[in-house]
Amino acid sequence: MVVTDYAAIKSQIDEVDFGNIEVNVFTLAELFQPYLIFGSKRFNLSLTDVTVYGNRTFAYSGKDEKNVQVINGVDIPTTLNGLLANGVKFLDAVTWISIPPAKRPAAITIDDTEKSMKTFKDPAEIARCMFYYFFYVLTRARAPGPDDLKEGQKVPDFLKKVLSIDKNPAQVADYLASFALNLLDHGWVQHVKLNSLSGESLNRFGLGVAGYRMAAPFKLFTPEGQLQVERLAAIRVAKSFATSEASWEIHPSTRDPNILTKYGNLNKNLGNLMLDVFTKEQLDQMVKARIIFAVPTREPSHTNYITWSDSDIYVPKKKIFRK
């Protein structure tokens, strides 16, 4: 009879190296944090997204040889006009100039021939495209781009018929930047001096900005649904959003996080409230009149509106059309 020495076998097994890597979860979290912060942001424009071109060897209109920064042996103009003359797109040029000199990306290598030159430096065309961009962010809470064509989005009549801008959203985006415009933080729009814009533009913006569509029915319709009595306080709060002056706290591109904390997801709560207090006929009428895009779908997890009281009536703090 053979007696197996299990203790000897165990000692050998204990010495086996399985190639395990033991990780410190706290250290990993600390290492990953910068990536998670960057990845979590809606606007993620980085140095690698910006495209600039250096001076060509031949002579051409607008070439700036005096105000340059040499990066990797290439002369890159440090002036807006010099960059535009080299074929750099407007927003790439503005962004590149705004970057601290030591961190500016190098120029992209291209054919050094006159045939390869293509510029986007017409000031009037830049101005039209920039207003188009501004208009989109203010009224649609997003930048123009190729996705508008995929989604069948119609070019706003105001841009096409009143301002005679004949580009589609994709063409505007391509004219202004080499990167997708939605990478750029839209928060800049809240610092534009609106009172300096044309009267036609201000009149159009007065018709509505992004963020208020789901509140509009509470201004235009008297609730006739089954729960209108039980939801009187919530209706008054909803109406306060619809009747107050447009504010940057509500606009989706600049929304104050405190709005989410206090009211929950505003659109989903307003949608549920609409289903409670308006009749099917009223909701269908809203869609037909294009006050809302579609009858809301019930979102059971969004019930903040049930607790809204008169103390939650909204008063804007950062008015868009400030005097």
Q: What is the pLDDT of residues 234-293, one digit of tens each?
A: 999 999 999 999 999 999 999 999 999 999 999 999 999 999 999 999 999 999 999 999
What pLDDT is attached to residue 291?
A: 93
Between residues 128 and 149, the one the model is more confident about: 128
Q: What is the pTM of this model?
A: 0.83
Contact 285, 216 (CB under 8 A): no
**Band of the pLDDT at 1, cuts 50, 70, 90?**
low
Contact 299, 268 (CB under 8 A): yes
Distance (Å, whole) CA 306 – CA 17: 60
* Rg from Cα positions in the chain: 28
Residue whose C-alpha is closest to residue 277's, from 318, 321, 237, 250:
237
pLDDT surpasses 70 at 138: yes
What pLDDT is attached to residue 231?
A: 95
Lowest mean pLDDT among 170-174, 202-206, 280-284: 202-206
What pLDDT is attached to residue 144?
A: 93
Distance (Å, whole) CA 65 – CA 63: 6
Structure tokens belonging to residue 72: 């990797």
Residue the block writes with tokens 């980085």: 46
The distance from CA 78 to its chain's CA centroid, rounded to whole angstroms, is 28
* Inter-axis angle of helices 232-243 and 266-277, nearest 10: 130
What pLDDT is attached to residue 282?
A: 97
Beta-strand pair 68-71/74-77: antiparallel
pLDDT surpasses 90 at 148: no
Distance (Å, whole) CA 93 – CA 79: 8
Between residues 137 and 208, the one the model is more confident about: 137
**Band of the pLDDT at 2, cuts 50, 70, 90?**
low
What pLDDT is attached to residue 323?
A: 60
Please compute the mean of the pLDDT values over residues 124-130 and round it to a whole number. Answer: 94
Please compute the mean of the pLDDT values over residues 36-58 and round it to a whole number. Answer: 90
One-letter identity of residue 194: L
The distance from CA 241 to its chain's CA centroid, rounded to whole angstroms, is 22
Name the average pLDDT for the chain.
91
